[in-house]
């Protein structure tokens, strides 16, 4: 038989006036999480540079380095997110008259919001120096390329129109113009993941033979080797970028989970209900 619960008209519990989100605690947890992330990143960079060596047979292998980098990103996310989430839950204001399940949800939300804010702050702070570095490198590369050849969107088509069937040798022709033409040709061919067209490959072989004095067969072999190496390097770069993206995704998801879990512990310790809730559930099972 089920006992009915009768609610008296004046016995409803009023919703407390305190806000459900303590933004001061969330901001504090996010700032601490972001600062710890930068400290651990700096330590990881120094550690990585100490184990990598340009000499063959020295230092760790590339596979070990990539796996170690991914695992270290996860460790950074776990440590920084856990501490930030714990502070967000421990420093939040108390909620009087709120059900324990609602308090648990709010603590979890505090940790998740602190993690999200730290991720956004970290992305903004990392984007500024990275953008400056990329723009500086791009401007230097642009100036260097401009010194060799003035490249434009239509230069590739003009090169095709003015292409000679008998390329000049290195001594008889303009070496810088020939090199600039090869750069534009390779750039336009590999930009979208393609490769040299048969006509372009034949022309490149002629230029190589004229510039180096090799026979046509040896020039064809060298072109094939360089094209194969270029494709292998591009494919390796693509795979490394994809693996890094997967590791970053895993670290972010694990960081969100750790921040949410740590916030519930911090909030429970702040209210003095962390251990009692566990004991109550154990007593009910018995």
Model pLDDT for residues 148-158, shown as the tens digit of each residue: 445 555 555 55
User: Would residue 230 be called left, alpha or beta, if left means φ above 0 and alpha means ψ between -120 and 50 degrees?
Assistant: alpha
Model pLDDT for residues 17-56, shown as the tens digit of each residue: 667 788 999 999 999 999 999 999 889 888 887 877 766 6
- Burial of 84 per CB tally in 10 Å (0-12, 13-18, 19+): buried
Q: With pLDDT > 90 as the criterion, what percentage of the chain qualifies?
A: 22
Cα angle 270, 272, 276 (rounded to 5 degrees) comes to 140
- Quickly count: other Cβ atoms within 10 Å of residue 47's Cβ: 12
The residue with tokens 């947890």 is: 29
Tell me the whole-structure pTM to 2 decimals. 0.68
Which pLDDT belongs to residue 16?
Answer: 57
Residue 150 backbone dihedrals phi, psi, to 5 degrees: -85, 100
pLDDT of 69 above 80: yes
Which pLDDT belongs to residue 208?
Answer: 81
Model pLDDT for residues 104-138, shown as the tens digit of each residue: 898 999 999 999 999 999 888 877 654 454 455 44
Longest dimension (CA), the chain: 106
Q: How far is residue 210's CA from residue 198's CA, in Å, rounded to a whole number?
A: 19
Per the model's pLDDT, the better-predicted residue between 244 and 149 turns out to be: 244
Which pLDDT belongs to residue 232?
Answer: 82
For 141-153, give one letter per residue: b (16+ CB within 10 A) or e: eeeeeeeebebee
Tokens representing residue 169 in the block: 């040798």
Model pLDDT for residues 181-219, shown as the tens digit of each residue: 777 777 777 776 667 778 878 888 888 887 777 888 888
**Could you tell me which residues come within 8 angstroms of residue 24 by beta carbon, excluding any fewer than 6 positions away?**
91
Q: How far is residue 29's CA from residue 127's CA, in Å, rounded to a whole number?
A: 21
Q: With pLDDT > 70 as the criterion, what percentage of the chain qualifies?
A: 68
């Amino acid at each position: 038989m089920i006992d009915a619960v009768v609610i008296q008209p004046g016995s409803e519990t009023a919703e407390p006036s305190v806000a459900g989100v303590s933004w001061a605690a969330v901001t504090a947890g996010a700032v601490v999480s972001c600062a710890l992330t930068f400290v651990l990143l700096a330590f990881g960079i120094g550690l990585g540079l100490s184990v990598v060596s340009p000499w063959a047979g020295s230092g760790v292998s590339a596979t070990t380095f990539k796996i170690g980098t991914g695992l270290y990103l996860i460790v950074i996310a776990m440590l920084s997110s856990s501490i930030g989430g714990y502070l967000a839950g421990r420093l939040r204001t108390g909620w009087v008259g709120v059900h324990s399940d609602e308090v648990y949800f709010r603590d979890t939300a505090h940790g998740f919001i602190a993690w999200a804010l730290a991720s956004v702050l970290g992305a903004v702070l990392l984007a500024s120096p990275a953008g400056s570095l990329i723009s500086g490198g791009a401007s230097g590369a642009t100036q260097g390329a401009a010194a060799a050849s003035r490249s434009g969107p239509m230069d590739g088509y003009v090169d095709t129109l003015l292409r000679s069937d008998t390329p000049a040798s290195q001594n008889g022709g303009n070496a810088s113009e020939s090199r600039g033409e090869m750069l534009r040709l390779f750039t336009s061919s590999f930009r979208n993941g393609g490769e040299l067209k048969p006509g372009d490959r034949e022309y490149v072989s002629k230029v190589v033979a004229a510039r180096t004095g090799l026979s046509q067969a040896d020039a064809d072999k060298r072109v094939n080797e360089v094209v194969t190496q270029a494709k292998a390097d591009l494919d390796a770069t693509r795979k490394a970028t994809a693996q890094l993206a997967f590791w970053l995704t895993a670290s972010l998801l694990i960081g969100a989970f750790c921040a949410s879990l740590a916030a519930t512990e911090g909030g429970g310790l702040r209210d003095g209900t962390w251990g009692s809730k566990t004991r109550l559930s154990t007593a009910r099972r018995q």
